[in-house]
Amino acid sequence: MAGKTVTRSDLSEIVYNAVGLSRSESAQIVETVLDEISDALIRGEDVKLSSFGSFLVRHKNGRMGRNPKTGEEVPIDPRRVLSFRASHVLKEKINKMAGLG
């Protein structure tokens, strides 16, 4: 495993090399892509990106939880959580690149 961390600046570099925008505009468009995906999820919409995967908004009901340290009961409010389901294409790519079929 290589174990490096890829960040926004690496992604901007990809955009910079792809279509010949300025560095600052490349960084800005990476941000816009993430913002548009986030905004849809915040509105409660699922985001499906073919050959990559789906971000699904799931609704969790409220329930009584327990503080494991004190044993005290605490109410957990209903909330929305995000789950990511990778597409088959992405799963296959990752396994192929790792030399696992």
Question: What does the alpha-carbon distance between residue 84 and residue 71 come to, in Å, rounded to a whole number?
Answer: 32
Among 23, 24, 36, 65, binds another protein (CB under 8 A): 36
Say how many CA atoms lie within 13 Å of 81 toward its Cβ: 7
Using DSSP bridges, classify how beta strands 53-60 and 47-49 pair: parallel, antiparallel or unpaired: antiparallel
**Interface with another protein, residue 9, by CB under 8 A:** no
**Interface with another protein, residue 96, by CB under 8 A:** yes
Residues 92, 75 contacting (CB under 8 angstroms): no
**Interface with another protein, residue 91, by CB under 8 A:** yes
Among 23, 24, 33, 66, binds another protein (CB under 8 A): 33
**Interface with another protein, residue 88, by CB under 8 A:** no
Structure tokens at 67: 């503080």
Structure tokens at 79: 């909330």
Here's the x/- map for another protein, 48-87, by CB under 8 A: it reads as xxxxxx-x-x-x-----------------xxxxxx-x-x-
**Interface with another protein, residue 23, by CB under 8 A:** no
Question: What does the alpha-carbon distance between residue 14 and residue 7 come to, in Å, rounded to a whole number?
Answer: 11
User: Looking at beta carbons only, is 14 or 66 nearer to another protein?
Assistant: 14
